[in-house]
Structure 1
Amino acid sequence: MNAASGRFDDAITDFSRRLVDVEGVVKAVYVAGSGPAVVLMPEMPGISPDVLRLARWVRDAGFTVHLPSLFGTDGAYPTAERGEEVIRRACVSAEFRAFAGGGTSPVTAWLRGLARRAHTECGGPGVGAIGLCFTGNFALTMMLEPAVIASVVNHPSLPLDDPAGLEISDEDAHEVRERIARDGLKVLAYRFDDDRWCTGRRFAAYRALLGDAFDGRVLPGGSANTDPPPFFRNVVGSPHSVVTAHFVDEDGHPTVKARDEILAFLTSRLIRTDSAESSAHRGGADR
Structure 2
Amino acid sequence: MSLLDTWTPGSHTHTGDRTITHPTYRKGTGPGVVIIHEVPGLTPRVIAFAEEIVAAGYTVVLPSLFGTPEAPFGAKAIAKAFKQVCVSAEFTKLATGVTTPIAGWLRSLARELHDELGGPGVGALGMCFTGGFALAMMVDQSVAAPVLSQPSVPFAVGRKRAADLNLSPADLESVKQHAAGGCQVLGLQFRSDPMTGSRFDTLDRELGAAFIRVDFGGKGHSVLTEQRQQEGVDRVLAFFGDKLRG
What TM-score do you get using the length of structure 1 for normalisation? Answer: 0.80
Residue number in structure 2 paired with 1:243: 224
> C-alpha displacement at 1:164, in angstroms?
1.9
1:63 maps to 2:58: yes
Residue number in structure 1 paired with 2:7: 15
Question: Is the partner of 2:151 in helix, strand or coil?
Answer: coil
Unaligned runs of 5+ in 2: none
Question: Is the partner of 2:96 in helix, strand or coil?
Answer: coil
Output the amino acid matched with 1:246: Q
Residue number in structure 2 paired with 1:75: 70
> C-alpha displacement at 1:178, in angstroms?
1.3
Cα RMSD, aligned residues only? 1.4
Unaligned runs of 5+ in 1: 1-8, 223-238, 248-254, 274-287
Residue number in structure 2 paired with 1:270: 244
CA distance in structure 1 between the partners assigned to 2:221 and 2:153 by the alignment: 13
> C-alpha displacement at 1:72, in angstroms?
0.5
Equivalent of residue 261 in structure 1, options 216, 229, 235 = 235
> C-alpha displacement at 1:82, in angstroms?
2.4
Is the alpha carbon distance of 1:96 and 1:102 closer, same or farther for their aligned partners in structure 2, counting shifts above 3 Å?
farther
Percentage of matched positions with identical amino acids: 39
Is the alpha carbon distance of 1:158 and 1:65 closer, same or farther for their aligned partners in structure 2, counting shifts above 3 Å?
same
Question: Is the partner of 2:187 in helix, strand or coil?
Answer: strand
Question: Is the partner of 2:5 in helix, strand or coil?
Answer: coil
CA distance in structure 2 between the partners assigned to 1:164 and 1:26 by the alignment: 31
1:134 maps to 2:129: yes
Output the amino acid matched with 1:12: L
Residue number in structure 1 paired with 2:211: 214
The within-5 A match list for 1:1-287 is: 11-23=3-15, 24-101=19-96, 103-160=98-155, 161=157, 162-181=161-180, 183-199=181-197, 201-222=198-219, 239-247=220-228, 255-271=229-245, 273=246
Output the amino acid matched with 2:5: T
Output the amino acid matched with 2:179: I
Matched-pair contact (CA < 8 Å) for 2:3–2:47: no
Output the amino acid matched with 1:193: R
Question: Is the partner of 1:144 in helix, strand or coil?
Answer: coil
CA distance in structure 2 between the partners assigned to 1:10 and 1:129 by the alignment: 25
> C-alpha displacement at 1:123, in angstroms?
2.1
- Deviations 1:167-223 (CA, angstroms, capped at 9, x unpaired): 111111111111211x21110001012211013x2210111221111111100125x
Mean Cα deviation higher: 118-127 or 31-40: 118-127
CA distance in structure 2 between the partners assigned to 1:26 and 1:202 by the alignment: 30
Matched-pair contact (CA < 8 Å) for 1:10–1:77: no
Question: Is the partner of 1:85 in helix, strand or coil?
Answer: helix
Is the alpha carbon distance of 1:77 and 1:10 closer, same or farther for their aligned partners in structure 2, counting shifts above 3 Å?
farther
> C-alpha displacement at 1:101, in angstroms?
2.5
Residue number in structure 2 paired with 1:281: none
Question: Between Structure 1 and Structure 2, whose CA radius of gyration is higher?
Answer: 1
Question: Is the partner of 2:207 in helix, strand or coil?
Answer: helix
CA distance in structure 2 between the partners assigned to 1:159 and 1:65 by the alignment: 27
> C-alpha displacement at 1:91, in angstroms?
2.3
CA distance in structure 1 between the partners assigned to 2:178 and 2:97 by the alignment: 22
CA distance in structure 2 between the partners assigned to 1:180 and 1:64 by the alignment: 24
CA distance in structure 2 between the partners assigned to 1:75 and 1:85 by the alignment: 14
Mean Cα deviation higher: 88-97 or 19-28: 19-28
Question: Is the partner of 1:211 in helix, strand or coil?
Answer: helix
CA distance in structure 2 between the partners assigned to 1:10 and 1:142 by the alignment: 30
